[in-house]
C-alpha cells in the first residue's frame, strides 16, 4: 500500500503524511423497517511515521444513518488505539484551544517542561473562551468553578495548574518526568471533556432518543 494520510504521530508529535501499511474494514448490518438495513463501518488502519518510524493503529467509523457535512474528513473523529495515551478528541474543541493542546502534544516526548507550559496555556485559552479574562490563571479558574462551568471538585484545582505551570515557566529545578506529564494530561483531558465533549455527547444522545421516540410514534400511528 502506498496511500498516505496526514495525521499526528503519537510517538514524536509530528503532523505529517503517514504511510498506510494495512487496513481492515468491518461492516455491521442492522435491520430497519421495510426490509431496509443500516450499515455501520468500523475501519482499522496501521500507519508508519516517516520521521520516527513509529507505528500506530487508528480507528475510524461512519454509518449510513448519520448525516455528514460537506467535505467531512472521516479522520477528524477517529482515535488512536495503539499506542495507548491520554488524549482528548481534538475535533470537539474550539480552534484556538485545539491549537494550544496540539502544541503540548507535539513536545510531549521532547521537552516535558515546555509541554507543561503548553498545557497551562490551554487552560488560559479555556478561560478566555468561557469569559473569564480578569486576574491570574488560578483566579480565572476559580471563577469558572464558581459559575459551574468547571466541576466542583474538592481541593483547589486551580492551584495545581498554577503551580505546575509556574515551576515550568520560571525554570525551577524540577524534574518533570513522563509520569508527571501523563498525570497533567489526564487532568487536562478530564476538564476539557467536562466543558466541551460531554455536552456535545449528551446533545447527540438526546437527539438519538428523540429520533427513536418519533419513529416509535410513527410506527404506532401506522398500525392504528
C-alpha 150/C-alpha 192 separation (Å) is: 9
Strongest mean pLDDT among 80-84, 157-161, 172-176:
80-84
Does residue 46 share a domain with residue 6? yes
For the stretch 86-126, pLDDT in tens is 566 676 788 889 888 888 888 887 788 888 888 888 989 99
Determine the pLDDT at residue 156: 62
In 3D, which of 126, 140, 143, 145 has the Cα closest to residue 196? 126
**Total domain count, the chain:** 2
Please list the residues that pair with 23 across neighbouring strands: 45
Does residue 100 share a domain with residue 177? yes
Lowest mean pLDDT among 13-17, 78-82, 86-90, 183-187: 86-90
Please provide residue 46's backbone torsions phi and psi, each rounded to the nearest 5 degrees: -105, 125
Please provide residue 58's backbone torsions phi and psi, each rounded to the nearest 5 degrees: -115, 135
Does residue 117 share a domain with residue 51? no
Does residue 69 share a domain with residue 117? no
Does residue 117 share a domain with residue 53? no
The answer to whether the CB of 15 falls within 8 A of the CB of 6 is: yes
Does residue 91 share a domain with residue 79? no
Does residue 35 share a domain with residue 16? yes
pTM here is 0.59
* Domain extent at residue 215: 86-224
How many percent of the chain have pLDDT more than 90? 21
Amino acid at each position: 500500500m502506498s496511500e498516505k494520510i496526514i495525521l499526528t504521530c503519537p510517538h514524536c508529535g509530528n503532523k505529517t503524511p503517514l504511510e498506510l501499511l494495512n487496513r481492515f474494514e468491518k461492516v455491521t448490518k442492522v435491520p430497519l423497517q421495510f426490509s431496509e438495513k443500516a450499515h455501520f463501518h468500523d475501519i482499522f488502519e496501521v500507519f508508519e511515521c516517516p520521521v520516527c518510524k513509529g507505528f500506530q493503529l487508528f480507528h475510524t467509523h461512519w454509518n449510513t444513518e448519520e448525516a455528514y457535512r460537506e467535505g467531512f474528513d472521516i479522520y477528524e473523529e477517529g482515535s488512536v488505539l495503539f499506542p495507548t495515551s491520554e488524549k482528548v478528541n481534538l475535533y470537539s474543541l474550539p480552534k484556538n484551544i485545539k491549537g494550544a493542546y496540539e502544541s503540548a502534544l507535539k513536545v510531549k516526548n521532547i521537552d516535558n517542561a515546555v509541554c507543561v507550559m503548553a498545557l497551562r496555556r490551554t487552560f488560559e485559552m479555556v478561560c478566555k473562551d468561557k469569559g473569564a479574562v480578569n486576574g491570574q490563571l488560578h483566579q480565572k479558574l476559580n471563577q469558572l468553578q464558581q459559575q459551574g462551568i468547571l466541576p466542583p471538585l474538592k481541593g483547589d484545582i486551580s492551584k495545581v495548574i498554577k503551580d505546575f505551570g509556574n515551576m515550568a515557566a520560571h525554570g525551577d529545578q524540577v524534574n518533570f518526568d513522563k509520569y508527571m506529564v501523563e498525570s497533567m494530561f489526564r487532568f487536562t483531558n478530564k476538564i476539557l471533556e467536562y466543558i466541551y465533549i460531554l455536552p456535545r455527547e449528551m446533545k447527540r444522545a438526546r437527539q438519538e432518543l428523540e429520533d427513536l421516540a418519533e419513529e416509535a410514534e410513527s410506527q404506532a400511528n401506522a398500525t392504528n
